[in-house]
């Protein structure tokens, strides 16, 4: 079993990999670059994606991040959960493990918090976003088997980005220009910009989380545990 120094060396090496992944000029996500340049990010490291114990530790760390100075002082703060295994996965397996993790987080979160009232809890609805600690998050899944080059990180990772950041960019009139630039950069890297991307409210952002090009009619294996607020989605009864 590794001691504390060994784990610290491993974590430092992973953080260097993360910086090396985001820093190249061709990397398309300007928000990720801003978070990196400002030091407005927090990485935490876990054993296995989809493992209940790992998700329990992640829930505690994500709670601390929400209340942290890093999150409160930057418009681009992001929280990254990096997992040591499994390294080799198909896109479908990664997607399944991602949603298993989000379901486990939700079961923990439901004991204290209701869903963020600014978004819907039904993943099939256009206004859906994942909620934790009463805050809506946009999730970016990354792994080495991703078909999207911008998500092909050597280890499984989930990036948690607060919706409130996007709302502020929209209020300030900055979002459209930033979105256009990101899509152009993604197309330059990949040959085409991600066909799964839609503006919030057009189609459920759940389709975007894993990075896989999902099928029409796709729905994740996820059901929000919170029942304190009636869903605004007209299809929630189906």
Q: What is the pLDDT of residues 195-218, one digit of tens each?
A: 666 666 678 999 999 999 999 889
For 14-39, write each residue's pLDDT tens digit: 899 999 999 999 999 988 999 999 88
**Structure confidence at residue 176 (pLDDT):** 86
**28-42 burial, b for 16+ CB within 10 Å, e for fewer?**
bbebbbbbbeeebbb
Banded model confidence at residue 71, pLDDT cuts 50, 70, 90 = confident
DSSP 8-state secondary structure symbol assigned to residue 212: S
Torsion of CA 227, 165, 138, 63, to 10 degrees: -60
User: At residue 175, does pLDDT exceed 90?
Assistant: no
* Whether the Cβ atoms of residue 70 and residue 20 lie closer than 8 Å to each other: no
Q: What's the pLDDT score for residue 178?
A: 87
Question: Quick one: pLDDT at residue 26?
Answer: 92
When pLDDT is averaged across residues 104-109 and rounded to a whole number, the result is: 97
According to the model, what pLDDT value does residue 227 have?
54
Helices of type H across 110-174: 163-171
Mean pLDDT of 168-190: 89
């Amino acid at each position: 079993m590794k001691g504390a120094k060994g784990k610290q060396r491993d974590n430092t090496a992973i953080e260097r990999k993360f910086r090396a992944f985001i820093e190249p000029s061709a990397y398309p996500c300007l928000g990720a670059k801003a978070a990196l340049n400002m030091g407005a990010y927090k990485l935490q490291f876990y054993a296995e994606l989809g493992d209940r114990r790992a998700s329990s530790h992640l829930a505690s760390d994500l709670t601390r991040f929400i209340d942290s100075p890093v999150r409160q002082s930057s418009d681009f703060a992001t929280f990254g959960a990096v997992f040591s295994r499994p390294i080799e996965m198909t896109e479908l397996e990664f997607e399944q493990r991602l949603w298993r993790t989000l379901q486990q987080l939700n079961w923990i979160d439901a004991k204290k918090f209701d869903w963020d009232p600014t978004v819907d809890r039904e993943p099939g609805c256009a206004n859906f976003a994942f909620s934790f600690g009463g805050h809506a998050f946009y999730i970016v899944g990354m792994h080495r088997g991703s078909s999207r080059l911008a998500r092909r990180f050597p280890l499984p990772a989930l990036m948690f980005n607060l919706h409130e950041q996007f709302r502020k960019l929209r209020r300030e009139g900055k979002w459209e220009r930033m979105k256009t630039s990101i899509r152009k950069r993604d197309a330059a890297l990949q040959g085409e910009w991600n066909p799964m991307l839609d503006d919030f409210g057009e189609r459920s952002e759940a389709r975007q989380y894993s990075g896989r090009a999902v099928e029409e009619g796709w729905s994740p294996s996820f059901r929000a545990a919170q029942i304190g607020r009636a869903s605004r989605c007209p299809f929630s009864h189906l």
